[in-house]
Amino acid sequence: MKLRKIIDDAKENEDFGLLETIIECPGSKDTVFRPGTSVTYHPGNVRFRCLLESIAYPDAETFKITQAEMAQRLVREIEATGGRFLKWDNRGYWVEVKDPSQKLNKVALSIRDFRYKTKAQRNNRQNNSSDTYLFCQSDGGKRKREEDLVENNPLKIKSRS
């Protein structure tokens, strides 16, 4: 309702500049930037994170790529498929980020946050190494005869033949 009122007011005042900048609903290919986690599962953001993971995970090639180069590569990939970069305007609507340096800055911040989170996950990961193989031969390799086990166990009755 709030957005509809803004659009109607802009039409009445013939503010076509504002009407051109307002985006009512982001598309599925759009990457959206908004504080908080409300847009985490937006299809465009999921795709953006997948591209980021594919570029950011270290292998021989990506160790040589700087953060700025990664940001440029991500921007090119998103825009090549028809995606846009949108940011939330506090007045209640989405606005496209058109300034190339602002796009790169937002993407670079996303890369930094991604690296920070993955580093924290790696550092907080619990290492569980199983040492059960130490108990495999704990009896010194000697096996007890079945008769000894039956005699020492009060619950089993020795069969007499």
Give me the mean pLDDT over the 36-49 stretch: 91
pLDDT bin (cut points 50, 70, 90) of residue 99 is: very high
- What burial class does residue 158 get, using C-beta atoms within 10 Å of its C-beta: 0-12 exposed, 13-18 middle, 19+ buried? exposed
> Which phi and psi (to 5°) does residue 96 adopt?
-75, 135
Residue 46: the pLDDT is 94
Q: Average of pLDDT values for 81-100?
A: 90
pLDDT beyond 80 at 81:
yes
**Across residues 68-95, what is the average pLDDT?**
91
pLDDT of residue 91: 82
In three state form, how does the secondary structure of 84-143 look?
A: CEEEEECCCEEEECCCHHHHHHHHHHHHHHHHHHHHHHHHHCCCCCCCHHHHCCCCCCCC
Report field, pTM of the whole predicted structure over 0.75 = no
Q: What is the dihedral of CA 59, 62, 64, 68, to 10 degrees?
A: -160
Instruction: Average the pLDDT over 86-111 and give the result.
Output: 90
Q: How confident is the model at residue 36 (pLDDT cuts 50, 70, 90)?
A: confident
Average confidence (pLDDT) over 144-149? 55
